[in-house]
Amino acid sequence: MNFAAAPGNQLLRQQVYEHLRRELKSEKLAPGNTVRINQLGEALGISRTPLRDALLQLQAEGFVTFLPQRGILINEVAEKEIKDIYEMLGALDSRGLLSVFSRIGSGEIHRMKTINEEMLLQVKNRAYYEYFDLNTGFHNVYLNLSDNTLLLNQLNILRQRLFDFGTKGEWIKKVQVLNYQEHLKLIELIEAGNANITADFIRDVHCSINW
């Protein structure tokens, strides 16, 4: 990839970061493998500094780990971590919903219903990444009403960590089966107008591994 057009180190770091995220998502940088910064830099045709900065950001987000004298480990998502991520998603998503509940209108509800039907279609088409992109979009219909950018950023990272990256196990199929009906229930609760009950459902049911 040619990063030569980048006018400054900050923009170059962002370009490298986004490129590495795509490599992680496609598993060209596969979970469980290690890479050397120098070798990766040579392959990308960039200097060590912007590459290291991008990798440090990925480490802060949980995607990679710096191993002294060994390189960069591409992290796997273990079963325990899946449960932990879901618990964090439930806490943050439900908090975000409570903060914007009064602003969710008929337009948002219509978009949520439309996206949920599109998700069901992608399950039938076995389109994995398209499905979970839509899942993120479903929740973002109401979450994007919030101006808490820190909360939104953390939710985005957690969802990417869970669905865009790492080992794809049998739990993925179970999530796809459950999501459609649980999304319908979530929409029903929003339409009923009780914010606390809806938030409890997100935290204790929708983002809880009970299977």
Summary mean pLDDT of the chain = 88
pLDDT band at 59 (very low <50, low <70, confident <90, very high): very high
Question: What topology is assigned to 79-206 in CATH?
Answer: Four Helix Bundle (Hemerythrin (Met), subunit A) (1.20.120)
pLDDT over threshold 70, residue 107: yes
What mean pLDDT comes out for the span 115-121? 93
The residue-averaged pLDDT of 88-109 equals 97
Question: What contacts 9, CB < 8 A, 6 or more positions away?
Answer: 49, 50, 53
Give the percent of the chain with pLDDT over 70. 91
Residue pair 97/143 in contact (Cβ under 8 Å)? The answer is yes
The beta-carbon contacts of 48-56 under 8 Å, at least 24 apart in sequence, are 49/9, 50/3, 50/9, 50/12, 50/13, 50/16, 51/16, 53/9, 53/13, 53/16, 53/17, 54/13, 54/14, 54/16, 54/17, 54/20, 55/20
For 48-57, 85-94, 185-194, which range has the lowest pLDDT when averaged over its residues? 48-57
Q: What single-letter DSSP state applies at residue 28?
A: S
Average pLDDT rounded to a whole number, residues 79-94? 92
170, pLDDT greater than 70? no
More confident residue, 91 or 130: 91
Report pLDDT for 125: 79
- Domains of the chain by residue range: 9-74, 79-206
**5: confidence class by pLDDT, cuts 50, 70, 90:** low
Q: Provide mean pLDDT across the span 129-141.
A: 90
Q: Please state the rounded mean pLDDT for residues 121-143.
A: 87
Please determine whether the domains at 9-74 and 79-206 fall in the same fold group of CATH: no
Q: For residue 2, what pLDDT is reported?
A: 61
pTM: 0.80
- Using pLDDT thresholds of 50, 70 and 90, give the confidence band for residue 146: very high
Tokens representing residue 150 in the block:
């820190």
Q: Is the pLDDT of residue 210 over 70?
A: no
Q: For the segment 29-57, what is each residue's pLDDT rounded down to a tens digit?
A: 888 899 999 999 998 888 888 999 999 99
Give the per-residue pLDDT at 4. 55
The domain defined by 9-74 carries CATH number 3.40.30.10: no
